[in-house]
């Protein structure tokens, strides 16, 4: 295993906030907006795409980019550590932009899905901007900047429907991909012209076989979690997909323990980093699950007498918009506080806020003002958890591995969201009831859903508490015991 680093570029490192650093952060926020537009905006035109391509494969249209992102991420993360974060970020934006072009002109579903696979590379943009930010500024400045970089693009989500709806009405679903092309092009040009390269590189090599095993295994498992509900958990295709994913991940573990320079060095995953990833996956999954539940509850009228429901109790746009300013506030504040109290404590704080907000939603499922407040708090929690997870992971790893560990955090965010949401949906489907001959989610199912998310948040809080105690514990100075002493 070779962890040596090679400094190939002049060190450009900001030690305090300046006009130049603000410009860099703005460009990286723009790059992250490309990722948001690629991964989530197409959901606005899902029905139009189904009609255009003459298909009912909702699951594939929704999940194709996410699954492809799981395959892209390990390869791009390791490449960034070896060849430079800026260079790989630029390549990623170009691939995602090219994928948007393919989706824009796709004559059939097969070509469209190929474009979505290329667009999936955009999943790597977030962790690449984090690793780059960490290495072009000092840690004290970088932690605050990472909080902004990972959360500021969420605020665009508030105005996006108002900007996109007129374009969609006039030009159809293709307008979504035209905007993605334009954003990717502008972001790539800005990165090329304005952002410096990271000064630290690893001297290793890219284990392509390991990257394909890890990425393919993650994609298969995520595919089973994302598609199983629509295609059947026990159907032959889904069982084969799950088995293939498990086999690929097992093969990756075996390979990673045998080669000198694996795509992710399992032996270097120390206890604090593993605890960080565990806390992130639990908390992120709970947040995503609660956002989906909110979408379901807003469609149910309290007049049905189910014991929950928010329809017509207030403007639904408030609930949909509430997480975005919270994410920006939580991410920025967590980044700023991390320089003063440490990222482990800000991670715990974000998880604690999410835990309180989730359990409070047991009463909020039938109270619009309470639900709006809880969603806002969940947004703050999500922003703090994302920023703190990236800050803590990069703080625990040497600079030559910042790309890989940032990629691990990004993958954990995706896995948590997919798995916990699917589990919650299974609970709802198992506890349905009928009102006037129509099936509805029961109050029992809704409350169980909230309880599961709350318990997972609480488990994440316990994990983060252990992290804080480990980080706060004084380090013991080794005692010299002669020739047998360890140093």
| Residue-wise pLDDT tens digits, 267-307 | 888 999 999 999 999 999 999 999 989 988 988 999 999 99
Q: Which two tokens stand for residue 158?
A: 């508030």
Say yes or no: 288 and 232 in one domain: no
- Contact (Cβ atoms closer than 8 angstroms) between residue 391 and residue 339: no
Signed CA dihedral, 258, 262, 266, 267: sign only: positive
Say yes or no: 197 and 282 in one domain: no
Say yes or no: 40 and 155 in one domain: yes
Say yes or no: 234 and 111 in one domain: no
Say yes or no: 239 and 347 in one domain: no
User: pLDDT-based confidence at 17, cuts 50/70/90?
Assistant: very high
Inside any domain, residue 263: no
Boundary-marking domain end, from 196, 231, 258: 258
Residue 367 in 3-state DSSP?
Answer: coil
How many CB atoms within 10 Å of residue 11?
11
User: pLDDT-based confidence at 28, cuts 50/70/90?
Assistant: very high
Say yes or no: 325 and 408 in one domain: yes
Q: Apex CA 342: angle with CA 340 and CA 348, to 5°?
A: 120
The string of DSSP letters for 245-276 reads HHHHHHHHHHHHTTSSS-SS-GGG--HHHHHH
- Contact (Cβ atoms closer than 8 angstroms) between residue 255 and residue 412: no
| Residue 473: per-residue pLDDT | 65
Which DSSP state fits 475?
Answer: P
Nearby residues of 201 by Cβ (< 8 Å), 6 or more positions away: 5, 6, 7, 8, 81, 82, 83, 84, 400
Rounded distance, CA 452 to CA 444, Å? 12
Q: How many domains does the chain have?
A: 3
For the segment 358-364, the average pLDDT, to the nearest whole number, is: 94
Q: Which two tokens stand for residue 213?
A: 């095993």
Inside any domain, residue 231: yes
Say yes or no: 439 and 357 in one domain: yes
Q: Which two tokens stand for residue 35?
A: 């990722």
User: pLDDT-based confidence at 318, cuts 50/70/90?
Assistant: confident
Backbone φ, ψ for residue 258 (5° rounding): -105, -35
Residue 486 in 3-state DSSP?
Answer: coil
List the CATH number of the domain containing 161. 1.20.1250.20
H-run or E-run covering 289: helix 271-297
Inside any domain, residue 480: no
Say yes or no: 230 and 299 in one domain: no
Q: Determine the angle formed by the axes of helices 46-53 and 109-119, rounding to 10 degrees.
A: 140
User: pLDDT-based confidence at 474, cuts 50/70/90?
Assistant: low
Statement: residue 4 has pLDDT above 50: no
196-215: burial string, b at 16+ Cβ within 10 Å, e else: bbbbbbbebebbeebbbbbb
Boundary-marking domain end, from 197, 227, 258: 258
Q: Apex CA 260: angle with CA 255 and CA 262, to 5°?
A: 50
Residue 370 in 3-state DSSP?
Answer: helix
Inside any domain, residue 487: no
Structural domain span for residue 243:
208-258
Inside any domain, residue 342: yes
Average model confidence (pLDDT) for the chain?
90
Q: Which two tokens stand for residue 67?
A: 């699954």
**C-alpha distances in angstroms, 211 versus 125, 217, 237?**
17, 10, 24
- Contact (Cβ atoms closer than 8 angstroms) between residue 402 and residue 262: no
Q: Which two tokens stand for residue 376?
A: 């806002």
User: pLDDT-based confidence at 483, cuts 50/70/90?
Assistant: very low
Inside any domain, residue 482: no
Maximum Cα–Cα distance across the chain: 82
Boundary-marking domain end, from 189, 205, 221: 205
H-run or E-run covering 193: helix 174-194
**C-alpha distances in angstroms, 470 versus 90, 387, 457, 467?**
37, 20, 20, 5
Q: Which two tokens stand for residue 201?
A: 């590189």
Inside any domain, residue 276: yes
Say yes or no: 182 and 221 in one domain: no
Say yes or no: 282 and 146 in one domain: no
pLDDT of 219-261, one tens digit each?
999 888 888 877 788 889 999 999 999 999 999 999 999 998 8
Say yes or no: 413 and 385 in one domain: yes
Say yes or no: 100 and 112 in one domain: yes
Inside any domain, residue 486: no
Nearby residues of 185 by Cβ (< 8 Å), 6 or more positions away: 97
């Amino acid at each position: 295993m070779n962890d040596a680093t090679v400094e190939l570029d002049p060190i450009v490192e900001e030690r305090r906030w300046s006009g130049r650093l603000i410009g860099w952060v703005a460009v990286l926020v723009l790059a992250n907006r490309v990722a948001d537009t690629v991964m989530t905006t197409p959901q606005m035109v899902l029905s139009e795409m189904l009609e255009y391509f003459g298909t009912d494969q909702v699951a594939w249209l929704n999940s194709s980019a996410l699954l492809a992102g799981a395959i892209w991420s390990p390869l791009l993360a390791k490449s960034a550590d070896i060849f430079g974060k800026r260079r790989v970020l630029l390549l990623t934006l170009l691939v995602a932009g090219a994928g948007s072009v393919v989706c824009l002109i796709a004559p059939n579903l097969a070509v469209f899905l190929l474009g979505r696979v290329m667009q999936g590379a955009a999943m790597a943009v977030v962790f690449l901007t984090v690793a780059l930010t960490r290495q072009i500024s000092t840690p004290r400045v970088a932690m605050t900047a990472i909080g902004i970089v990972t959360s500021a693009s969420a605020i665009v989500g508030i105005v996006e429907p108002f900007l996109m709806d007129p374009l969609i009405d006039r030009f159809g679903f293709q307008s979504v991909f035209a905007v993605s092309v334009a954003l990717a092009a502008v972001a790539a040009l800005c990165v090329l012209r304005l952002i410096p390269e990271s000064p630290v590189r690893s001297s290793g090599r890219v284990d392509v076989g390991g990257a394909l095993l890890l990425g393919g295994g993650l994609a298969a498992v995520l595919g089973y979690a994302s598609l199983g509900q629509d295609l059947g958990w026990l159907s032959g295709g889904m069982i084969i997909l799950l088995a293939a994913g498990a086999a690929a991940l097992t093969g990756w573990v075996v390979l990673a323990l045998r080669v000198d320079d694996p795509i992710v060095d399992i032996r270097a995953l120390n206890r604090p980093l593993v605890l960080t990833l565990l806390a992130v996956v639990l908390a992120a999954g709970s947040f995503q699950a609660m956002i989906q539940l909110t979408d379901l509850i807003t469609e149910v009228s309290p007049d049905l007498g189910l014991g929950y429901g928010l329809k017509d109790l207030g403007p639904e746009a408030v609930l949909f918009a509430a997480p975005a300013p919270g994410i920006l506030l939580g991410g920025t504040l967590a980044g700023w506080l991390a320089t003063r109290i440490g990222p482990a404590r800000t991670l715990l704080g974000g998880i604690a806020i999410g835990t309180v907000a989730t359990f409070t939603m047991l009463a909020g499922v039938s109270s619009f003002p309470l639900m709006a407040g809880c969603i806002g708090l969940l947004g703050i929690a999500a922003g703090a958890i994302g920023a703190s997870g990236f800050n803590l992971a990069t703080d625990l790893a040497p600079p030559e591995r910042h790309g890989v560990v940032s990629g691990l955090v990004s993958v954990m965010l995706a896995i948590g969201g997919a798995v916990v949401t699917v589990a919650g949906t299974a609970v709802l489907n198992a506890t349905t009831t009928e009102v006037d001959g129509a099936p509805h989610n029961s109050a029992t199912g809704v409350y169980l859903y909230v309880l599961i998310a709350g318990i997972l948040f609480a488990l994440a809080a316990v994990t983060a508490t252990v992290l804080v105690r480990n980080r706060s514990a004084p380090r013991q100075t080794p005692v010299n015991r002669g020739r047998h002493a360890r140093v």
